[in-house]
Amino acid sequence: MASSDFDGILLGMGNPLLDVSAVVDQEFLDKYDIKLNNAILAEDKHLPMYDEMSQKFNVEYIAGGATQNSIKVAQWMLQIPGATSYMGSIGKDKYGEAMKKDATAAGVNVHYYEDESTPTGTCGVCVLGGERSLIANLSAANCYKVEHLKKPENWALVEKAKFYYIAGFFLTVSPESIQLVREHAAANNKVFTMNLSAPFICEFFKDVQEKCIPYMDYIFGNETEARTFSRVHGWETDDVEQIAIKMSQLPKATGTYKRTTVITQGADPVVVAEDGKVKKYPVIALPKEKLVDTNGAGDAFVGGFLSQLVHGKGIEECVRAGCYASNVVIQRSGCTYPEKPDFN
């Protein structure tokens, strides 16, 4: 394929958030009732924690948001300017400007909706022993409106793309936007992919998630999310391989593509289910002392995976690229990467 064929080939939609990241202590986690390896939406009790983090700990500010991370990593792996696009909502403030600058520098074609009255969303990233917990204060990210998507200059990104990726987190913000994109994908034989994203999405946004499942050609998630999904659907199994198969066999809206389920399990092998069969792919081993934090590991995996999927590569290559990208990211703070990938 010529590089012009990749123009806008991959579109992401999600919640652009500025990561407020710090290594914290157990006392801080207990105070705010935070569990490691989890992702939640901030409640009132969490709101003071962002200031407290910056006073008590060494805080880094990193452009984040699950879908935006994945799209940036895919863009980095592809090394073709403008191959990826992204939509979401930011505030008209310095954080929003920083985010725009960061994503544009990464080569992503961003079309943000800018909310006049709400600050750019933030995500507290609490790191302890290399594990992370995410507490998202969506703010402006929560203000995305389907009207923005329908504007001709934005809908043009949907029409141009051949692959779509939306993290489950966006289900809490604009299910109407997701519906328009997934129906366009189905009607035009394009590839629609989503992520389970967090146990709370599977549990408390089950109904909107279920409406999307028939359209998902690829479902991504981690082992904790997969087990929550299984419990919520009354499957009575904790076996990740069985869950992956069952997810891949849920009904589909179109027969164009069979569904593939891809479940990551931290340092354990990646589980891939398609055609009623499971394959497991080992991840790249990393000595504990090289682990900086797992923030963005799953996002990076998806980004690497999608970078090969848009090239028409097989599942094994896609997983290999996903494992490469997540291995790079966990050795750095947040979802960041060196200037060029070393993936062949």
Catalytic residues: 299
How far is Cα 121 from Cα 138, in angstroms, rounded to an integer? Answer: 4
H helices present in the chain, as ranges: 26-31, 49-56, 66-78, 94-105, 146-150, 152-160, 175-187, 199-204, 206-212, 223-232, 240-248, 297-309, 315-329
CA dist 177 → 147, 216, 330 (Å): 9, 15, 32
Q: Say if residues 336 and 104 touch (Cβ distance below 8 Å).
A: no
Q: Say if residues 36 and 130 touch (Cβ distance below 8 Å).
A: no
Q: Say if residues 299 and 270 touch (Cβ distance below 8 Å).
A: no
To the nearest 10°, report the CA torsion of 197, 203, 207, 210. 50
Half-sphere exposure of 132 (CA within 13 A, CB side): 27
Within its chain, how far is the Cα of 96 from the centroid?
Answer: 19
